[in-house]
Amino acid sequence: MGLDTGFLTLGAKVEMVSLRNHRDFSNLLFEQDPKPYWAGYTDFLVDTSMIDIVAARLPIEAACVVRAEARMPRPSSTDICWMGEQNQALVDLLPAYMRVIRRSRNAAAEPHPLLCVWSA
């Protein structure tokens, strides 16, 4: 069974990021034991401190990751997010994760709340 995880802003209702089958990455958020936003659902609000915890657990600040992310074409990060993490080395995923973290953190800092929606 797959795992779909997405981040969208509540006020603007714009999806910022969508991940398909990135269980290890998503677990970095789930491990923080977020409280459901709506009763009966698993979706939860994401704030900048939660994103910072995810960022701290991944070596995205390594110079090689920063260089790789800078060289990566924009559609490439979206492709990686939809391919899933299985059969991909973490080092190859880190540049895309760096973009996910940056976009999510920027969105979480905006006035509209950022919601993580997921289903397995």
pLDDT tens-digit map of 25-49: 999 999 999 999 999 999 999 999 9
DSSP lists the bridge partners of residue 8 as 15, 115
Q: Return the HEC string of the chain.
A: CCCEEEEEECCCCCEEEEEECCHHHHHHHHCCCCCCCCCCCCCEEECHHHHHHHHHHCCCCCHHHHHHHHHCCHHHHHHHHHHCCCCCCHHHHHHHHHHHHHHHHHHHCCCCCEEEEEEC
DSSP lists the bridge partners of residue 15 as 8
- The answer to whether residue 56 scores a pLDDT higher than 70 is yes
Question: How many structural domains comprise the chain?
Answer: 1
- What pLDDT digit, counting tens, does each position of 66-106 carry? 888 888 877 666 677 778 888 888 888 999 999 999 989 99
The predicted pLDDT at position 75 comes to 65
User: Which residue range is the domain that position 64 belongs to?
Assistant: 4-119
The predicted pLDDT at position 104 comes to 92
Q: What gap in Å lies between CA 108 and CA 102, rounded to an integer?
A: 10
**Which pTM was predicted?**
0.86
